[in-house]
Amino acid sequence: MVTDPGNRVIESYVETDNSAEARKAVSDGILNIHKVTSNRFWQFAALFGIMFVLGLIGFVMRLSSGFDDKAAWGYYVALFAFLMTTSSAAPMVAIAPRIANSHWRRPISRAAEIWTLAGCLNLLIYIPLIWLLPSLENGRRSLWFYGQQKAQDMDSCWVFCWGGGVPAYSPHIWATLAILGLVVLGFALLWLSILPDLAVLRDHGEGWQKKWGRKLALGWRGTSAQWNWQYHRMGVVGAFYFMMLVFVHFFISVEFLMVHVPGWIDSLYPITHAHNALQGGVATVMLTMFFLRKFGGYKDYIGLDQFWGLGKLLLALSLLWFWFWFSSFMVLWYGKKPSEQAVLELLVKGPYLYLFITIFLLVFILPWFTMIWNPVRRSVWGPPILAGSILVGTLLDRIRLYVGAWDVAEKSEMMHSMMHMEMEEVPGTIPSLGIADAFVIVGFIAGSVLIFMLATRLIPAINIWERKEMLLYKAEVQFHRTKVMVMGKPR
């Protein structure tokens, strides 16, 4: 019995419509859209396929130039970092709002999770990099202290190792394990999420969908025990995915970026890199959402609420981008220490100045100054445009950082101590973008998108069971003179 503050009985409970017909209507609605594949879809898939083949050609061209010249691989590593920043981080849009019980995530969480499949492309791209990371023997700087110790007693060449000359504490092993772990966790997250929907496909789908559903749904019946198991596992896998993501970005930012630049000792940078990933992931999902709504036929499912919710998040993350960048910049700039000034010269003030200004505009100024206005933020067109700007800016940013860093890799003076390491000289120009690099960048981004598109043919792009869950929690009631929505917030 519920009484209002005036002690009048208003109503007993709000009834939600959780009947079987309502639930079937939800799954039918989504399946009907999922079944249809337009011609335009296949045209675009073919286009992306061709671009992907170009990317493979570029990759082979890059391979043929060998592993000796690090600077030549700069664009390749930048692309790898870009993909790790966008597609690997996209699932966070599914994980985080789930923990916060935000209902607006429901239509888009599946799209976010499908991006984990692009992780296997990332893993393949990573493999050549194992040969490119400097070895421990010539005293490379590393977060692994042994590397420094080698630098300090350069006369002794004895290396403690087993197997093929790769020590147990080698960064190469840990980087591989981390990225592999991330991909595996991503797959686990996706599979757990699609289990109930595969059951729906099995029961209500047709033809190959039925077979595909039956094989993978593992006898899902929707009992309470199974739901509890699934919830619990999804929570755990989600949390681990987040922690692994932070760890991977910590790794990439240190081993692929900071150790190559003499004098760049920036304790904040792993966090900055992880934050850029969150921002990139949200922007990726925002664009995905837009395309699903406009071209995927999901107009009735992805509405203003989703763009508004993600838009707020994107605004906050853009502001945070500035803060993280400024925190690093302020400390390095103020002290005027020569080694640190050289780092700033390389990455901000020197050859990359115009690139940096462009990035600053695209990733911070433009999103922030437009999205603080409600009409822009609360619209369907506003946030996706800014998401596009952020993605372009992020790609340019990865290029700025990684190409710059690999350009000066292993060119430092005063190797005898970390603190006194300084770049020999700051390069005057940006290494030029070769044909192979252009192919690689365009091709592998297209490849990730292609993987996503093909996956949506197999898996419904909207999460069916989460939408059915919505039926339980949402109701509309009369409130004074208007109708409002009542949202349940169970634990």
Partner 1 sequence: MVNSNKWGMVVDIDRCTGCQGCVVACQAENNIPINLEEHFNQRRAIQWIRIERYWEGEYPDVKARFIPIMCQHCGNAPCEPVCPVYATYHNDEGMNVQVYNRCIGTRFCANGCPYHIRFFNFWEPEWPESLKNQLNPDVTVRSRGIMEKCSFCVQRIQRSTREADRDGVDLEDGDRGLNPACVNACATNSIIFGNFNDPNSEVSKIKEREMKEGGRGYGLLENLGTDPNVIYLKKVDESVEVGHGH
Partner 2 sequence: MQEHTQLSNKQINDDLLKDILTVPKWWLPAVAFLSLIVLTGLGAFFFMMYHGLGVTGLNRPVMWGFFIANFVFWIGISHAGIMISAILRLTQAEWRRPITRAAEVMTVFSLIAALHTPLMHVGRPWRVLYWIFPYDFSRGIWPNIRSPFVWDPSAVGTYLIASSLFVFVCLIPDLAILRDRVKNPIGKKIYSQLALGFRGTPRQWKLQIIAGILLSALVLPVFVSVHSIVSWDFAVLIGVEGWRSTIFAPYFIIGAIHSGVSAVAMLMALSVWLYGLDKYIKPDHFDAIARLLIVVATTWFFFFFLEWVYALYTLESPEIALRELQAFEWPYGPLFAIFVITSFVIPVPMWLFKRVRRSAALMFWTTILVNIGMWLERFLIVIPGLLRRTHMTFDWGTYHPSIIEILIVVETFAFVCLGMLLFAKVLPLIPLFDIKEGMVNRRLIKVGRRVVPATIREGLPHHYYENKH
Residues lying near partner 1 in the complex (CB under 8 A): 334-339, 341, 414, 416-417, 419-420, 422
Residue 432's binding partner, choosing from partner 1, partner 2, none, with beta-carbon cut-off 5 to 8 A by kind?
none
Q: Which residues pair with 9 in a beta bridge?
A: 3
* 124: partner contacted, choices partner 2, partner 1, none (Cβ within 5-8 A by kind): none
Footprint (CB under 8 A) of partner 2, residues 397-426 = 417-419
Residues 421 and 92 sit within 8 Å (Cβ to Cβ):
no
Q: Which is nearer to partner 2, 221 or 481 (CB)?
A: 481
Does residue 300 interact with partner 2 by CB under 8 A?
Answer: yes
DSSP state of 10: E
The neighbour count for residue 253, using CB atoms within 10 Å, is: 23
Based on CB atoms, which residue is closest to partner 1, 150 or 467?
A: 150
Q: Report in angstroms how near the CB of residue 439 gets to partner 2 at its nearest.
A: 36
- Identify the residue whose tokens are 């700007």: 389
**Is residue 341 a contact residue for partner 2 (CB under 8 A)?**
no
> In the bound complex, what is the minimum distance in angstroms from residue 348's beta carbon to partner 1?
17
Nearer CB in complex with partner 1: 139/213? 139
Identify whether the C-beta of residue 200 lies closer than 8 Å to the C-beta of residue 213: yes
The 87-126 contact track toward partner 2, x by CB under 8 A, reads -------------x--------------------------
Closest distance to partner 2 from the beta carbon of 405 (Å) = 16
Q: Which of partner 2, partner 1, none is residue 330 near (CB under 5 to 8 Å by kind)?
A: partner 2
Q: Which of 238, 195, 235, 239 is nearest to 218 (CA)?
A: 195
Task: Write down the least CB distance from residue 338 to partner 2, Å.
Answer: 11
Side-chain-side CA neighbours of 330 within 13 Å: the count stands at: 7
**Pairs from 329-333 (Cβ < 8 Å, separation ≥ 24):** 332/266
Using CB under 8 A as the binding rule, whether residue 3 contacts partner 2 is answered as yes
> Shortest approach of partner 1 to residue 466 CB, angstroms?
54
Residue 60 or 477 with smaller CB distance to partner 2: 477
Q: Is 324 in the site for partner 2 (CB under 8 A)?
A: yes
Residue 64 is a binding residue for partner 2 (CB under 8 A) = no
* The entry of partner 2, partner 1, none that residue 491 binds, CB within 5 to 8 Å by partner kind: partner 2
DSSP for 185-254, please give it. HHHHHHHHHHHHHHHHHHHH--THHHHHHHHHHTT----HHHHHHHHHHHHHHHHHHHHHHHHHHHHHHH
Kindly state the smallest distance separating residue 340's Cβ from partner 1, in Å.
Answer: 8
Q: Which does 485 bind (CB under 5 to 8 A by kind): partner 1, partner 2, none?
A: partner 2
Residue 434 in contact with partner 2, rule: CB under 8 A = no
Residues with Cβ within 8 Å of residue 411, at least 6 apart in sequence: 262, 423, 424
User: With CB cut-offs between 5 and 8 Å by kind, which of partner 1, partner 2, none does residue 39 bind?
Assistant: none
The 3-state secondary structure of 397-466 reads HHHHHHHHHHHCCCCEECCCCCCCCEECCCCCCCCCCCHHHHHHHHHHHHHHHHHHHHHHHHCCCCCHHH
In three-state secondary structure terms, 232 is helix
Q: Minimum CB separation from partner 1 for residue 339, in Å?
A: 7
d(CA 63, CA 418): 32
Phi-psi region of 96 (alpha: psi -120 to 50; beta: other; left: phi over 0): alpha
Please report, as residue ranges, which positions from 349 to 368 form the binding site for partner 2 (by CB under 8 A): none
In angstroms, the Cα distances linking 301 to 23, 30, 184, 298 are: 15, 9, 30, 5
Q: Using the rule CB under 8 A, is 374 a contact of partner 2?
A: no
Is residue 132 a contact residue for partner 2 (CB under 8 A)? no
Which string of x and - marks every residue 169-208 that binds partner 2 (by CB under 8 A)?
A: ----------------------------------------
> How many residues are given for the chain?
491
- Asked if residues 342 and 317 have their Cβ atoms less than 8 Å apart, the reply is no
* In contact, 302 and 296? CB cutoff 8 Å: no
Could you tell me the end-to-end alpha-carbon distance of the chain, in angstroms, rounded to an integer?
Answer: 21
Q: Which CB atom, from 332 or from 440, has the smaller least distance to partner 1? A: 332
- Smaller CB separation from partner 2, 62 or 377: 377
Which residue, 406, 401, 405, is CA-closest to 325?
Answer: 401
Does 14 bind partner 2 (CB under 8 A)? Our answer is: yes
Q: Give the β-pairing of 422-423 and 2-3.
A: unpaired
Helix (H, G, I), strand (E, B) or coil at 426: coil
Residue reference for tokens 């997250």: 189
Element (H, E) at 379: none
From the list partner 2, partner 1, none, pick the one residue 341 interacts with, judged by a Cβ distance below 5 to 8 Å according to partner type.
Answer: partner 1
From the list partner 1, partner 2, none, pick the one residue 416 interacts with, judged by a Cβ distance below 5 to 8 Å according to partner type: partner 1
**Count of residues engaged in binding partner 2, rule: CB under 8 A:** 68
Least spacing, CB of residue 152 vs partner 2, in Å? 8
d(CA 135, CA 57): 28
Q: Is 15 in the site for partner 2 (CB under 8 A)?
A: yes
Q: Using CB under 8 A as the criterion, which residues of the chain lie in contact with partner 2 when the complex forms? A: 2-7, 12-16, 18, 22, 25-26, 29, 100, 143, 145, 148-149, 152, 246, 265-271, 300-301, 303-305, 308, 319, 323-324, 327-328, 330-332, 334-337, 378, 417-419, 472-473, 475-477, 479, 482-491
